[in-house]
Amino acid sequence: MSSQANSVAMAGAAGPVPAAAGTGPRPGVPTPPAGKRADRERFQWSSLSLLAPSLVLLAVLFVIPVIYAFYLGFTNLELVGPNAVTWHFTGTQNLQRLWSDPTFFLSLRLTLVFIIGSIVGVVVIGLALAMLLQTAVAPLRILVGGIVVIAWMMPAITAGMTWYASTTASGTFGTLLGMPNSDFLHHEPLLIVTLANVWSQTGFAMLVLGAALRNIPREVLEAADMEDASRWQRFRLITLPLLRPTIVTTVLLITLISLANFALIYVMTQGGPGNATNILPLYSYQQAFEFNNLAYGALVGNVMVLICAIFGVIYVRASRVRT
């Protein structure tokens, strides 16, 4: 508080001093009180040297490549062969190919099923666990909470391995269900891969939603009890609306993570059998680095960015609509 007042006073005192030559006020940018100020409000050239490493790295290895990838999607660049050296802009040729590519549309459908299945699974199970943990006895709470968090922490590659081993022929699940020779991963690949993803993301949702649950004021729930609200009413009319912002954020993060969860699926199925789990990140990789069509792979990547953007807009709108 006092430092704020100080700086204002100092700025006022410094006001009459003529502005430094050359540093004219930038049009459009709200100018700070005229004249040199001794506090932090002045732009210092050393700021640039602090920012420079990050800005240069982000520009050269992140922003420009993203723009470049967008352009690459409309060329005929290939991994090997003559088109690897002399490639050029080909207009909408790749787009036409995309439009008549049944594998792409299959991949798009699989991606949506995978993402929506993961979101529903993660949020429902995560919320259920968070609520159950609140009422559970201490040892059980620590044990189960620990197991779920460990599943979440596991590197995607390890999670993929454990699920591959558990669901392949003679794996744990088949043995337990009395069908030791049935290869679940082969028969229901998309379901198993989605389950594996839910398994490895739920811990995150559980922790975040658990923290949000603890922030719900007790009085509100007690008031509902006074009004003889049923458990379901309490959940639907109080808990859920209060958790809404947290749920929206969780869903957004789960979407991004699921769409980026290349390793999990690649380890388990490599997109197969056939194309049964060939979601967009895998299809993009397959086209670029297995079929050598770098440009077409980049175009598929562009579609992924578009999907992320669409989901992003939906979530922003969902979080703005307040009850």
Partner 1 sequence: MTAGVAAPAPQAPSGAPVQPPANPASRRSMSNKAISNLLLTVFGVLFLLPMVWLVLASLDANATWSVEIPHLTGANFAAALSGSDLQSLINSIILSGVSTAIATVCGALAAYALSRRRIPWKGPLLLIVLFLTGVPLAILIIPIFELFSDLGWLSILPCALFLAVTTLPFEIYLIKNFIDAVPQDLEEAARMERAGTMQILLKVIGPLAMPGIAAAAIFGFVTAWGSFLIPLVLITSPNQQPGSIAIFGFIGAAHVQYGNIAAFSLIYAVPIFLLYAISSRLFRGGFVLSGAVRG
Residues within window 133-162 making contact with partner 1, judged by CB under 8 A: 133, 135-137, 140-141, 143-144, 147-151, 153-158, 161-162
Closest by CA position to 33, among listed 7, 70, 6: 7
Q: For partner 1, which is the closer residue by CB, 116 or 150?
A: 150
Min dist CB 171 to partner 1, Å, is: 5
Q: For partner 1, which is the closer residue by CB, 142 or 240?
A: 142
Subset of 255-284 contacting partner 1 (CB under 8 A) = 256, 259-260, 262-263, 266-267, 280-281, 284
In whole angstroms, give the CA distance from residue 145 to residue 72: 46
In whole angstroms, give the CA distance from residue 308 to residue 96: 22
Count CB neighbours of 280 within 10 A.
21
Q: What angle do CA 31, 35, 41 make, to 5 degrees?
A: 60
Place of tokens 């594998």: 103
Contact between 226 and partner 1 per CB under 8 A: yes
Min dist CB 69 to partner 1, Å, is: 5
Q: Which residues pair with 89 in a beta bridge?
A: 75
Min dist CB 17 to partner 1, Å, is: 18
Q: Which two tokens stand for residue 271?
A: 């997109």
Helix axis angle for 102-135 and 240-260, nearest 10°, is 140
Residues in the chain, total: 323
Q: How many residues bind partner 1 (CB under 8 A)?
A: 97
Q: Which residues pair with 75 in a beta bridge?
A: 89
Contact between 46 and partner 1 per CB under 8 A: yes
Q: For partner 1, which is the closer residue by CB, 246 or 286?
A: 286
Candidates 107, 166, 246, 278; binder of partner 1 (CB under 8 A) is 166
Place of tokens 């859920």: 240
Subset of 183-202 contacting partner 1 (CB under 8 A) = 196, 199, 202
What is the rounded (10 degree) CA torsion for 121, 135, 146, 236?
A: 20
Min dist CB 243 to partner 1, Å, is: 18
Binding region for partner 1 (CB under 8 A) out of 17-25, 59-67, 107-115, 238-246: 59-67
Min dist CB 68 to partner 1, Å, is: 4
Q: For partner 1, which is the closer residue by CB, 243 or 265?
A: 265
